[in-house]
C-alpha cells in the first residue's frame, strides 16, 4: 500500500499508468465473470430444455397397451426417435446438432451416449455442450458436460390382473 | 429293442412334421398350382415367394388332379395374359416384383385363383435383421371395385414368412363374408419384425408401407434391404368364396303335389358350401328311397333355375337314375322321381308282402345298422294292459307342431312336439304310444315312449338333443312320427301321424366390435325370464293337467382395482362374474338345460355388438381379451370416456331351453354400473434427474 500511495503521489506520470493497469485488470476480471455467468446461464437453459425433451420423449413412448394392464413399459426406439425429433423441431438444431441464432453459431450438442431401456422405462443422455466465448481474447471453445435421465414410475392404483 | 422303438418313434415324428408342412395348402382342389422361387415354394394358396438376387426365375407349374386344364392366366399390374402349364417369369428388377395372380380352370368347371407376392429379400449380413411376420389388410376388392375398407387394418399372420397361418383362414372368410363363388382380393402391406440376430430380441415391428420413412431412416440398412422394403410396401391375397349348393331330389306323385320323400345333395354327402376349385358329382336313383310295391314308377323330371343353354328342364319316362356333375356354377336343380300310387284295399295285399310296405318310408333309414334309436326316459309301457287295437273305438293320433325352428350350434337343446288324440279312446301309460323324433341330416333318432293322452286332447313331449358345430347356417328337417311302428293298427288315418318342420342350426359368429365415441343410452330389450307350460299326466287312475314353470335368475358383478373407492379410471379394465340359476317345479330336470349363452353389450360399441362370455365352473366370465398383452379376462374402458359419467354394462343370459320355450334375461345397470373418474394416465409419472 505504501508503494501504491507513493506511485499515485509521484508527479512523473507513474500514477496514471498504474490507474490504467488497474482499470484494465478490473475490466478483464469483470469480463471473465460476466462471460462465466453467460455461459452458465446458457448451460442451465440448454440443460432445462434438454431435460424437458427427454421427459417428453419418455412420456410419449410409454406404451398404453401395458399401461392399461398396470405395467410401465416404454418403446425405447420410439423414445430415441422422439428425442431427435425434439432436437430438430423444438430446439431448432441442425443435422449436426448445431444451434444458430440467425447466422451466428451459438453451441453444438455433442452426444456421447443415448441409452434407452424398455423396462424399467428410462432414457439417459450423456454428452457435452460445446460453445465459445464472445470475447475473442478469452480462450476458444468450452465444453460443458451434462448427464440427463428420465424415468417413468407407476403409482399403482389400477390395471392389475 | 428299445433303440429300435426309439428310432421308429423318431421316424414317425419326422413323418408327422413333413405331413404338417403340407397342411397349409388347399385340400381337395381339382387343380394344383405350384409357384417356386429360388428360396420358397407355395402350392395352391396365396402367399409370398422370395429371391435374393436379380435376375430371378419364378417357376409356375399347373396340373389338374381331376379333368384337364383348359386355360391358365397370369395377371400382373392389371395386365392379364395366357400362360402355359409350365411357365417361368423372369424378375429383372424391383419393378418386376409384386403381386402375380394366377387363375387356372379345368374342363370340369373348377377354377383356382391364387396370388403370389414376389418379393426381393436381401441376404442377411449384419446383426440387426428383419423377418416378415404378417400382412395388414386394408381393403377388399371385387375385381376393379373396392367393396370394403377397414378403419383399422386387419392383421393376417404369416407362417415361415410365406404362408397364411391356418388359423387365419376362417377369419379371412369372415372378413369377406360372401358365398357367391367370386374371387376377392385382399389388399394391404407387409409387417416386418426387426430383431437382434445374436440375442433374438425383437426391437420393433413396422408396417412397411405406413412406417416406411421411419423404418428406412431410423436404422442404417444396406441398399439391398432398402430395395427389399420397396418391394414389400404393397401386397395382396386372393380369396375364393364358396357357393351354396342347392340340388334336391323328390319322390312324388305325378303332379308333384304329394311328396313321399326328399333327398338333398347334402344327404348324399356333398358339402353345403362348395368352393370353386372343386368339382364332384351326385347320383340319384329312383331306388334311393324305397316306396313299396304299390307305387308304380312313371318317370324322371328335372328342373333348373335359372335355365341356361347348359341347364335346361326336361323329363324322361324311362330314365331311372341321373348323375349330375357339380361345380360352383351349377344353378338350383330339382329332380322328381314320379310315381302313381295304386289303390290297395286294406288287408288285400296281392304281392303277399307285409302291410307296412304300403306305407311310404319317406326318408333314408337313419339306423342302417338296425340300431335301436335313443330313447327318452319316459315310463316303460305296462305290457299287461290292453292295447286299443283290440277295441272298436275310433281314434286318430296326430303330430301338430314341433318347436322351435331355430337352434344355435354347439348347444344342448329341447324340441317340443305337440301331439293330439282325436276320437273316443284314452291312452294311458300302459299303452304303447310312441313318438319318434328324427333329424335325417344329423342321423339323429330318438323315441319317446308311453305318451299319455285323454280322448280329444293333446299333450306335449320333449326331446333333448345336441346341435353340432356348423361352419355356416345349416338347414335341417325335424320329423316327428306318432305311432311310428303302427303298433296301434286300427287308427282311423295315418295321414297326420308324421309332421315335418324345416329348421335351421345357426352358425354363431361374434363380430369384431367397432368403437364409437357417441354413446347412446342402453336400449330397451325384450326378455323371457319365466315360462309356464302344461302337460297331461295320468295319475291315480285319471288324467290330470299339470302346470309347470321355469324361471331364470341372474346375478352379476363387476370387479376392478378401485372398486372400494367407488370409481374406475378410464383406460383400465374390469372383469365380470355372472351367476345363474333356474328355479322350476318341473319333475324332469333333464329337460331344462343350463344357461348356455351370456353376452355383454358395452357403451363404446353403442350396445350393438355382443361380447361373449365364457363359462368357468358355475359362473360366466369374460374370455381372454386379445387386446390385452397379458390376455387378461377383462374389457377395457376407452380412455376417451368422459369423467364423472356412469359406464353402464348390459348383460344378456339366454339359451336356457325348457319344454315351455327358451328363457332369457337382460340386466342393465345396477351392479353393472361404474362411475368413471380420471384416466389411467394419472397413475404413472415421468420425472427427470
pLDDT digits (tens, 9 = 90+) for B68-115: 899 999 998 888 888 999 999 888 888 889 999 999 999 888 999 999
Residues of A in contact with B685 (CB under 8 A): 152-153, 155
Helix, strand or coil for residue B215?
Answer: helix
From the CA of A15, how many Å to the nearest CA of chain B? 55
Please, what is the Cα angle at B23 between B17 and B26, to 5 degrees?
Answer: 160
Instruction: Please give the residue of chain B at the shortest CA–CA distance from A161.
Output: B632
Closest CA to B101 of B74, B77, B81, B120: B74
Residue B13, pLDDT above cutoff 70: no
- How does DSSP assign B451-516, residue by residue? --B-TTEEEEEEEEEEPPP-SS-EEEEEEEEESTT--STT-S--TTSEEEEEEEEE---PPPP---
Instruction: Kindly tell me if the per-residue pLDDT of B159 is higher than 90.
Output: no
Question: Is the model's pLDDT at B372 over the cut of 70?
Answer: no
Q: Do B561 and A158 touch (CB under 8 A)?
A: yes
pLDDT of residue B65: 84
Whether pLDDT at B21 is above 60: no
Q: Could A160 and B688 be called an inter-chain contact, meaning their C-beta atoms sit closer than 8 Å?
A: no
Sorting pLDDT into bands at 50, 70 and 90, what band is B541? confident
Lowest mean pLDDT among A133-137, B159-163, B357-361, B647-651: B357-361
Residue B606 or B223, more confident: B606
The whole-angstrom separation of Cα A16 and Cα B27 is 109
- What residue spans of B191-281 are helical by DSSP H? 212-218, 223-231
Does B204 contact A72 at a Cβ distance shorter than 8 Å?
no
Mean pLDDT score of chain B, rounded to an integer?
A: 83
For chain A, how far is it from start to end, CA to CA, in angstroms?
81
Q: What is the pLDDT of residue B26?
A: 59
A153–B684 C-beta distance less than 8 A: yes
Q: Distances in Å between the alpha carbon of A155 and those of A79, B104, B311?
A: 21, 62, 74
Residues B358 and B294: their CA atoms lie apart, in Å, by: 6
Q: Give the chain A residue whose CA is nearest to the CA of B568.
A: A158
> What's the rounded Cα separation, in Å, for the pair A149 and A126?
9
Q: Which residues pair with B465 in a beta bridge?
A: B413
Å from A93 to nearest chain B CA?
A: 18
Q: Cβ contact (<8 Å) for B685 and A153?
A: yes
In the prediction, which pLDDT does B199 show? Answer: 72
Residue B211 above 90 pLDDT?
A: no
Chain-chain contact of B687 with A150 (C-beta, under 8 angstroms)? yes
Q: What is the mean pLDDT of residues B266-286?
A: 83
pLDDT score for A161: 56
Interface test with A, best of B202, B686, B687 (most A CBs within 10 A): B686
Cβ proximity of B574 and B628 under 8 Å? no
Of the pLDDT bands very low, low, confident and very high (cuts 50, 70, 90), residue B213 is: confident
Residue B404 has pLDDT above 90, yes or no: yes
User: Looking at CA atoms only, how far is residue B555 from chain A in angstroms?
Assistant: 22
Nearest partner of B333 among B297, B277, B267, B282, judged by Cα: B282
B393 falls in which pLDDT band (50, 70, 90)?
low
Instruction: Report the pLDDT value the prediction gives residue A2, as an integer from 0 to 100.
Output: 58
Nearest to B684 among A72, A81, A161 (CB): A72
**Minimum distance, in Å, between the CA of residue B577 and any CA atom of chain A:** 14
Q: Is the CB of residue B361 less than 8 Å from the CB of residue B436?
A: no
> SS3 of B336, please?
strand
User: If you average pLDDT over residues B638-642, what whole number do you get?
Assistant: 94
Could you give the angle at the alpha carbon of B89 between the alpha carbons of B84 and B93, nearest 5°? 160
Averaged over B618-629, what is the pLDDT? 91
* A131 Cβ neighbours under 8 A, 6+ residues apart: A39, A42, A106, A107, A108, A141, A142, A144
Query: For B625, which DSSP code?
Result: P
pTM of the model: 0.54
Residues of B within 8 A of A126 (CB-CB) are: none
Q: Which residues of A make CB contacts under 8 Å with B? A: 51, 54-55, 58-59, 62, 64-72, 75, 77-78, 81, 148-161
DSSP A74: B
On chain A, the residues whose CB falls within 8 A of the CB of B629 are 65-66, 69
Picking from A69, A149, A155, the nearest residue to B684 by CB comes out as A155
Contact A157 B562 (CB under 8 A): yes
Q: Model ipTM?
A: 0.83
Report CB contact under 8 Å: A68, B636.
Answer: yes
Q: Do A66 and B684 touch (CB under 8 A)?
A: no
Q: Over chain A (161 residues), what is each successive 10-residue block's mean pLDDT?
A: 64 79 90 88 94 96 93 93 94 92 91 93 95 74 92 77 56
pLDDT of residue A159: 61
Nearest-CA distance from A158 to chain B in Å? 5
Task: Tell whether the model's pLDDT for residue B158 goes beyond 90.
Answer: no
Nearest CA in chain A to B678: A158
* Environment class of B92 (CB within 10 Å of its CB; exposed 0-12, middle 13-18, buried 19+): exposed
**Cross-chain residue pair A69–B573, CB shorter than 8 Å:** yes
Nearest 5 degrees, angle CA B546-CA B549-CA B554?
A: 170
Chain A contact set for B687 (CB, 8 A): 55, 150-151, 153
- Hey, are the CB atoms on A65 and B627 less than 8 Å from each other? yes
Note the pLDDT of residue B27: 57
CA of A73, closest CA in chain B: separation in Å? 11
Counting one residue from chain A and one from chain B, the pairs whose CB atoms sit within 8 A come to 89
Residues of A in contact with B680 (CB under 8 A): 64, 67-68, 158-159
**Residue B522 pLDDT grade (very low, low, confident, very high; cuts 50, 70, 90):** very high
| Whether A84 contacts A97, CB under 8 Å | no
Task: In whole angstroms, give the CA distance from residue A49 to residue B646.
Answer: 41
Sign of the C-alpha dihedral computed for residues B138, B141, B145 and B150 taken in this order: negative
> Which pLDDT does position A155 carry in this prediction?
82
pLDDT for position B649: 96
User: At B645, which helix (H) or strand (E)?
Assistant: strand B645-658
Q: B688–A55: do the CB atoms touch at under 8 Å?
A: yes
Chain B contact set for A75 (CB, 8 A): 204
- Answer whether the bond into residue B394 is a cis peptide, omega within 30°: no
Give the pLDDT of residue B380.
38
CA-based nearest residue in chain A for residue B563: A158
- B236-269 pLDDT tens trace: 988 888 888 888 898 888 888 888 888 888 877 7
Closest residue to B684, CB basis, from A77, A154, A160? A154
Round to whole Å and give the CA distance between B531 and B66: 56
Nearest to B556 by CA among B536, B537, B576: B576
Which chain A residues contact residue B561 at CB under 8 A? Answer: 70, 157-160
SS3 B171: helix
Lowest model confidence (mean pLDDT) among B63-72, B141-150, B245-254, B540-549: B141-150
A148: chain B residues, CB-CB within 8 Å: 688-689
Distance (Å) from the alpha carbon of B689 to chain A's nearest alpha carbon? 5
Verify whether the Cβ–Cβ distance A62 to B204 is below 8 Å: no
Instruction: Compare all CA atoms of chain B with the CA of A49 and give the residue at the minimum distance.
Output: B688
Q: List CB contacts (< 8 A) between A69 and chain B.
A: 573, 628-630, 632
For B682, nearest residue in chain A (alpha carbons): A155
Taking CB atoms and an 8 Å limit, are A152 and B628 in contact across chains?
no
Q: What is the pLDDT of residue B392?
A: 54
Show residues of chain B in contact with A65, CB under 8 Å: 627-629
Dump pLDDT digits (tens) for B426-459: 888 877 789 999 999 999 999 998 899 998 899 9
Query: Hey, are the CB atoms on A65 and B686 less than 8 Å from each other?
Result: no
Tens digit of each residue's pLDDT (9 = 90 or more) over A82-113: 999 999 999 999 989 999 998 889 999 999 99
Amino acid at each position: 500500500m505504501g508503494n501504491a500511495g507513493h506511485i499515485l503521489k509521484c508527479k512523473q506520470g507513474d500514477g496514471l499508468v498504474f490507474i490504467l493497469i488497474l482499470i484494465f485488470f478490473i475490466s478483464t476480471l469483470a469480463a471473465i465473470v460476466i462471460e462465466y455467468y453467460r455461459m452458465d446461464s446458457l448451460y442451465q437453459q440448454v440443460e432445462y430444455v434438454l431435460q424437458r425433451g427427454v421427459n417428453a420423449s419418455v412420456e410419449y413412448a410409454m406404451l398404453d397397451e401395458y399401461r392399461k394392464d398396470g405395467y410401465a413399459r416404454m418403446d425405447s426406439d420410439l423414445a430415441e426417435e422422439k428425442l431427435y425429433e425434439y432436437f430438430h423441431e423444438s430446439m431448432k438444431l441442425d443435422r449436426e446438432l448445431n444451434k444458430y441464432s440467425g447466422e451466428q453459431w451459438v453451441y453444438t450438442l455433442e452426444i456421447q451416449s443415448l441409452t434407452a431401456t424398455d423396462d424399467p422405462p428410462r432414457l439417459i443422455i450423456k454428452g457435452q455442450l460445446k460453445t465459445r466465448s464472445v470475447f475473442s481474447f478469452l480462450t476458444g471453445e468450452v465444453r460443458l458436460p451434462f448427464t440427463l435421465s428420465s424415468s417413468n414410475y407407476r403409482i399403482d392404483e389400477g390395471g392389475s390382473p | 429293442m428299445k433303440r429300435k422303438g426309439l428310432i421308429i418313434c423318431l421316424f414317425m415324428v419326422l413323418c408327422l412334421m413333413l405331413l404338417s408342412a403340407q397342411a397349409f395348402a388347399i385340400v381337395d382342389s381339382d387343380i394344383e398350382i405350384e409357384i417356386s422361387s429360388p428360396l420358397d415354394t407355395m402350392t395352391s394358396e396365396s402367399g409370398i415367394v422370395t429371391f435374393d438376387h436379380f435376375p430371378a426365375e419364378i417357376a409356375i407349374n399347373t396340373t389338374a388332379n381331376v379333368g384337364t386344364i383348359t386355360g391358365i392366366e397370369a395377371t400382373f399390374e392389371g395386365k392379364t395374359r395366357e400362360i402355359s402349364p409350365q411357365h417361368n417369369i423372369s424378375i429383372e428388377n424391383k419393378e418386376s416384383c409384386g403381386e402375380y395372380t394366377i387363375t387356372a380352370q379345368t374342363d370340369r368347371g373348377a377354377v383356382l385363383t391364387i396370388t403370389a407376392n414376389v418379393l426381393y429379400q436381401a441376404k442377411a449380413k449384419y446383426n440387426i435383421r428383419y423377418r416378415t411376420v404378417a400382412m395388414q389388410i386394408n381393403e377388399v376388392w371385387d375385381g376393379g371395385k373396392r367393396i370394403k375398407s377397414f378403419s383399422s387394418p386387419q392383421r393376417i399372420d404369416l407362417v415361415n414368412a410365406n404362408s397364411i397361418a391356418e388359423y387365419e383362414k376362417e377369419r379371412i372368410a369372415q372378413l369377406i363374408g360372401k358365398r357367391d363363388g367370386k374371387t376377392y382380393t385382399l389388399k394391404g402391406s407387409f409387417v416386418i419384425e426387426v430383431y437382434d440376430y445374436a440375442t433374438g430380441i425383437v426391437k420393433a415391428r413396422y408396417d412397411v408401407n405406413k412406417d416406411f420413412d421411419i423404418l428406412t431412416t431410423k436404422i442404417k440398412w444396406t441398399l439391398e434391404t432398402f430395395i427389399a422394403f420397396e418391394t414389400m410396401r404393397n401386397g395382396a391375397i386372393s380369396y375364393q368364396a364358396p357357393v351354396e349348393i342347392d340340388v334336391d331330389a323328390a319322390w312324388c306323385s305325378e303332379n308333384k303335389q304329394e311328396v313321399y320323400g326328399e333327398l338333398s345333395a347334402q344327404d348324399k354327402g356333398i358339402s353345403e358350401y362348395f368352393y370353386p376349385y372343386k368339382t364332384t358329382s351326385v347320383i340319384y336313383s329312383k331306388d334311393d328311397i324305397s316306396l313299396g310295391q304299390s307305387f308304380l314308377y312313371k318317370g324322371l323330371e328335372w328342373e333348373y333355375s335359372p335355365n341356361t343353354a347348359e341347364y335346361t328342364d326336361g323329363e324322361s319316362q324311362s330314365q331311372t337314375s341321373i348323375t349330375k356333375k357339380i361345380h360352383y356354377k351349377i344353378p338350383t336343380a330339382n329332380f322328381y322321381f314320379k310315381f302313381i300310387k295304386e289303390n290297395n284295399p286294406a288287408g288285400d295285399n296281392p304281392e303277399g308282402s307285409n302291410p307296412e310296405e304300403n306305407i311310404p318310408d319317406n326318408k333314408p333309414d337313419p339306423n342302417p345298422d338296425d340300431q335301436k334309436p335313443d330313447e327318452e326316459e319316459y315310463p316303460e309301457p305296462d305290457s299287461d294292459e290292453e292295447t286299443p287295437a283290440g277295441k272298436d273305438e275310433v281314434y286318430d293320433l296326430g303330430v301338430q307342431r314341433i318347436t322351435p325352428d331355430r337352434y344355435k350350434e354347439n348347444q344342448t337343446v329341447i324340441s317340443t312336439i305337440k301331439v293330439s288324440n282325436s276320437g273316443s279312446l284314452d291312452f294311458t301309460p300302459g299303452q304303447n304310444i310312441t313318438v319318434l323324433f328324427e333329424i335325417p341330416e344329423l342321423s339323429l333318432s330318438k323315441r319317446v315312449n308311453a305318451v299319455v293322452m285323454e280322448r280329444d286332447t293333446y299333450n306335449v313331449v320333449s326331446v333333448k338333443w345336441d346341435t353340432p358345430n356348423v361352419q355356416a347356417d345349416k338347414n335341417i328337417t325335424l320329423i316327428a312320427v306318432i305311432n311310428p311302428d303302427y303298433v296301434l293298427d286300427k287308427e282311423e288315418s295315418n295321414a297326420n301321424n308324421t309332421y315335418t318342420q324345416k329348421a335351421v342350426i345357426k352358425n354363431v359368429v361374434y363380430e369384431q366390435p367397432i368403437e364409437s365415441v357417441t354413446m347412446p343410452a342402453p336400449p330397451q330389450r325384450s326378455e323371457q325370464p319365466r315360462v309356464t307350460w302344461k302337460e297331461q299326466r295320468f295319475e291315480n287312475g285319471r288324467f290330470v293337467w299339470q302346470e309347470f314353470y321355469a324361471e331364470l335368475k341372474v346375478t352379476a358383478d363387476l370387479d376392478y382395482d378401485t372398486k372400494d373407492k367407488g370409481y374406475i379410471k378410464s383406460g383400465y379394465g374390469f372383469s365380470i362374474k355372472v351367476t345363474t340359476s333356474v328355479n322350476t317345479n318341473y319333475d324332469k330336470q333333464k329337460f331344462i338345460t343350463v344357461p348356455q349363452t351370456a353376452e355383454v353389450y358395452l357403451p363404446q360399441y353403442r350396445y350393438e355388438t355382443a361380447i361373449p362370455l365364457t363359462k368357468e365352473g358355475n359362473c360366466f366370465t369374460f374370455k381372454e381379451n386379445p387386446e390385452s398383452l397379458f390376455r387378461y379376462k377383462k374389457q377395457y374402458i376407452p380412455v376417451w370416456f368422459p369423467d364423472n359419467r356412469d359406464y353402464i354394462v348390459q348383460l344378456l343370459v339366454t339359451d336356457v331351453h325348457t319344454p315351455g320355450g327358451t328363457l332369457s334375461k337382460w340386466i342393465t345397470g345396477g351392479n353393472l354400473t361404474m362411475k368413471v373418474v380420471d384416466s389411467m394416465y394419472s397413475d404413472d409419472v415421468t420425472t427427470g434427474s
